[in-house]
Amino acid sequence: MKVSDLLESRRASWRELEELCARMERWWRRRLDAAAALRFAALYRAVCADLALADAYQLPPGTIQYLHRLVGRAHNQLYRSRPFQRAAWARQLFVDVPQRLFSDNFLRLAFVLFWGPFLLSMWLVHVNPGYAESVVGEGMLNKLADDFAHPPGDRGGMDAIMAGFYVSNNAGIGLRCFAFGLFLGVGGIFMTIYNAGVLGAVFGHMSTLPQQDNFYSFVTAHGPFELTAIVLCAAAGMRLGFSMIDTRGWTRLASLRKAGEETMPVAAAAVILFVLAAMIEGFISPAPLPYEVKALTAGLSAAMLLFYFFVLGYPRGA
Partner 1 sequence: MKDRLGRVKSKAKEQSGSNLLRPVRRQIMDLMSHPNGQLDSRIEIVTPENIALEYRVAGPFRRLPAYLIDLVICGLAGTVALAALTLLFTLLGLPEVGWGLSLVLWFVLNWFYGGVFETFWNGQTPGKRIMAIRVLSIDGRPINGLQAVLRNVLRAADAQPIAFYVVGLVAAAANRRFQRLGDLVCGTMVVVEEPGLFRGVVRISEPAALALAAQIPAGFQASRSLARALATYVQRRGQLLLARRIEIARHVAGPLRDRFQLAPNTDLDQLLCGLYHRTFIAERPDAAAGMGASPFADYGHPPPRNREAVDR
Could you say which residues in the range 49-68 bind partner 1, by CB under 8 A?
49-53, 55-58, 60-63, 65-66, 68
Select the residue interacting with partner 1 from 28, 29, 33, 82 (CB under 8 A): 82
**Which letter does DSSP use for residue 140 in this model?**
H
CB 239 within 8 A of CB 104: yes
Could you say which residues in the range 185-204 bind partner 1, by CB under 8 A?
187
Go through the chain and tell me how many residues it has.
Answer: 318
Could you say which residues in the range 22-51 bind partner 1, by CB under 8 A?
22, 35, 38-39, 41-43, 45-46, 48-51
Amino acid code (one letter) for 46: A
Q: Which H helix or E strand runs over 205?
A: helix 186-206
In terms of CB distance, is 182 or 238 closer to partner 1?
Answer: 182
CB of 287 to partner 1, least distance (A): 14
CB 73 within 8 A of CB 14: no
In degrees rounded to 5, what are phi and psi of residue 157?
75, 20
Select the residue interacting with partner 1 from 105, 128, 134, 168 (CB under 8 A): 168
Decide: is 180 part of the binding site for partner 1 (CB under 8 A). Answer: yes
Binding mask of the shown chain, residues 240 to 259, with x at each position contacting partner 1 by CB under 8 A: x---x------xxxx-xx-x
**Cα 28 to Cα 37: distance, rounded to the nearest angstrom:** 17
**Which letter does DSSP use for residue 152 in this model?**
S
In terms of CB distance, is 21 or 202 closer to partner 1?
Answer: 21
**Cα 19 to Cα 155: distance, rounded to the nearest angstrom:** 61
Q: Give counts: helices (H), strands (E), the chain.
A: 14, 0
Task: Give residues with Cβ within 8 angstroms of 171, minimum separation 6.
Answer: 229, 270, 271, 274, 275, 278
**Cα 162 to Cα 142: distance, rounded to the nearest angstrom:** 21
In terms of CB distance, is 75 or 108 closer to partner 1?
Answer: 75
CB of 207 to partner 1, least distance (A): 31
CB 218 within 8 A of CB 149: no
In terms of CB distance, is 18 or 133 closer to partner 1?
Answer: 18
For residue 239, give the nearest of 107, 113, 130 by alpha carbon: 107
**Cα 43 to Cα 31: distance, rounded to the nearest angstrom:** 17
Q: Which H helix or E strand runs over 215?
A: helix 212-219
Decide: is 3 part of the binding site for partner 1 (CB under 8 A). Answer: yes
Decide: is 126 part of the binding site for partner 1 (CB under 8 A). Answer: no
How many residues bind partner 1, per CB under 8 A?
91
CB of 153 to partner 1, least distance (A): 16
Select the residue interacting with partner 1 from 167, 232, 270, 284 (CB under 8 A): 167
CB of 241 to partner 1, least distance (A): 10
Select the residue interacting with partner 1 from 175, 196, 235, 270 (CB under 8 A): 175
CB of 267 to partner 1, least distance (A): 7
Q: Which H helix or E strand runs over 232?
A: helix 223-242
In terms of CB distance, is 16 or 133 closer to partner 1?
Answer: 16
Decide: is 14 part of the binding site for partner 1 (CB under 8 A). Answer: yes
**Cα 287 to Cα 154: distance, rounded to the nearest angstrom:** 7
Select the residue interacting with partner 1 from 95, 149, 158, 293 (CB under 8 A): 158
Decide: is 144 part of the binding site for partner 1 (CB under 8 A). Answer: no
Could you say which residues in the range 258-317 bind partner 1, by CB under 8 A?
259-261, 264-265, 267-268, 282
